[in-house]
């Protein structure tokens, strides 16, 4: 009997603690994200003439086929490899298809090295109509950097791609074909809603063979938490190679709260809540030295972020703001 009473008290204590946590989380949450933009972030530099010009807005009609957003933090060493491959693909495609136009926006996320200078070198070589550098006044995190680049984009489609060049850039062909297949019945691609994700899930068996048991356990644990709390039906939520229509990007990044590594999960969670179709396409990927992630610490942080994402949306502490241009997708 004493044991039963003790269990009842323990359960009551846990419930009280959970309720208290929920109240604290709700009180300390912003219903909609505050997106601060510094004056210096509203312009880009043309290194050819040394003058600055205003960035456009994602609220404007698209004037390019594709925008490539490259978040970069202290990437002066790895960025050139990625950019060389990226520009070779884009230039070749633009020459063979006169209807294809593009831009690359390198978002320097408050780097302490010469990331911006490296980016400006490409702007000088190819012209700022094709390559622009957005230098953030302070470090926001990968998700925050991607959002700021997205908000300055001109493309009908928006791709965000990691600065390390781990994904083979020409795999954009497959990811794009999947996106356009979803939007086949839509008259205007930019105003359709769809997301196409590059995926490394097909490489998981090989990666497990080279990892320690502990890292493998953490990886599967993270996958389980993603499935349990946020996104189902997408095997690899973290591959940094995702393509969105312009309207989808407006909607999703306008409501994004998480600015760290787990922003991909929140983005896909929002897409599923709003009924935005998501495709997953296998891409070639390789491990690149110099990652900014600390495997154990980063996975633990992302795991906590997942629980927070689920809890805050479940409580209604976070809400979906919707389309920046039309604002009729708002949902609780």
Between helix 115-126 and helix 79-96 the angle, nearest 10°, is 20
Q: Is residue 187 part of a domain?
A: yes
Q: Is residue 53 part of a domain?
A: yes
Rounded CA-CA distance 153/60 in Å is: 9
Q: Is residue 28 part of a domain?
A: no
Rounded CA-CA distance 188/198 in Å is: 23
Q: Is residue 264 part of a domain?
A: yes
Q: Is residue 107 part of a domain?
A: yes
- Burial of 206-234, coded b for 16+ CB within 10 Å and e otherwise, reads eeeeeeeeeeeebbeebbebbeebbbeeb
Residue 173: domain span: 38-315
What CATH number did the domain enclosing 109 receive?
3.90.550.10
Helix (H, G, I), strand (E, B) or coil at 132: strand
Between helix 263-274 and helix 142-150 the angle, nearest 10°, is 50
Q: Is residue 320 part of a domain?
A: no
- How many distinct structural domains can be found in the chain? 1
Q: Is residue 321 part of a domain?
A: no
User: Backbone phi, then psi, for 66, in 5-degree steps?
Assistant: -140, 135
Beta strand 102-108 with 64-72 is parallel
Give the sign of the dihedral formed by CA 326, CA 40, CA 65, CA 251. negative
Q: Is residue 51 part of a domain?
A: yes
pLDDT digit string (tens) for the chain, length 332 residues: 577 888 888 888 989 998 998 899 899 899 999 899 999 999 999 999 999 999 999 999 999 999 999 999 999 999 999 999 999 999 999 999 999 999 999 999 999 999 999 999 999 999 999 999 999 999 999 999 999 999 999 999 999 999 988 899 999 999 999 999 999 989 999 999 999 999 987 765 555 444 566 667 777 777 788 888 888 889 888 888 999 999 999 999 999 999 987 899 999 999 999 999 999 999 988 777 666 656 667 777 778 888 889 999 999 999 998 787 653 333 33
């Amino acid at each position: 009997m004493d044991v039963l009473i003790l269990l009842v008290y323990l359960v009551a204590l846990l419930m009280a603690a959970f309720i208290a946590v929920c109240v604290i989380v709700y009180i300390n949450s912003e219903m909609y994200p505050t997106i601060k933009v510094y004056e210096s972030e509203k312009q880009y530099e043309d290194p050819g003439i040394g003058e600055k010009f205003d960035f456009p807005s994602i609220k404007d009609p698209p004037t390019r086929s594709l925008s490539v957003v490259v978040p970069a933090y202290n990437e002066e060493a790895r960025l050139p490899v990625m950019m060389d491959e990226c520009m070779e693909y884009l230039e070749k495609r633009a020459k063979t298809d006169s209807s294809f136009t593009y831009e690359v926006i390198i978002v320097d996320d408050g780097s302490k090295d010469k990331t911006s200078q490296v980016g400006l070198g490409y702007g000088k070589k190819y012209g700022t109509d094709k390559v622009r550098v957005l230098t953030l006044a302070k470090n926001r995190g990968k998700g925050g950097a991607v959002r700021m680049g997205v908000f300055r984009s001109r493309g009908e489609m928006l791709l965000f791609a990691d600065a390390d060049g781990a994904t083979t850039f020409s795999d954009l062909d497959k990811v794009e074909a999947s996106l356009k297949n979803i939007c086949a019945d839509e008259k205007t691609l930019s105003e359709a809603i769809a997301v196409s994700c590059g995926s490394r899930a097909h490489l998981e068996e090989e990666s497990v063979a080279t990892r320690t048991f502990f890292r493998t356990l953490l990886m599967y644990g993270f996958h389980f938490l993603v499935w349990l709390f946020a996104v189902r039906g997408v095997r690899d939520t973290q591959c940094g190679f995702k393509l969105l229509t312009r309207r989808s990007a407006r909607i999703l990044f306008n409501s994004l709260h998480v600015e760290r590594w787990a922003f991909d999960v929140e983005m896909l969670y929002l897409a599923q809540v709003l009924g935005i179709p998501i495709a997953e396409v296998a891409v070639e990927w390789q491990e690149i030295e110099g990652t900014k992630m600390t495997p154990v610490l980063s996975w633990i942080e992302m795991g906590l972020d997942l629980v927070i994402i689920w809890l805050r949306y479940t409580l209604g502490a976070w809400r979906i703001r919707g389309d920046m241009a039309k604002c009729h997708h708002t949902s609780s």
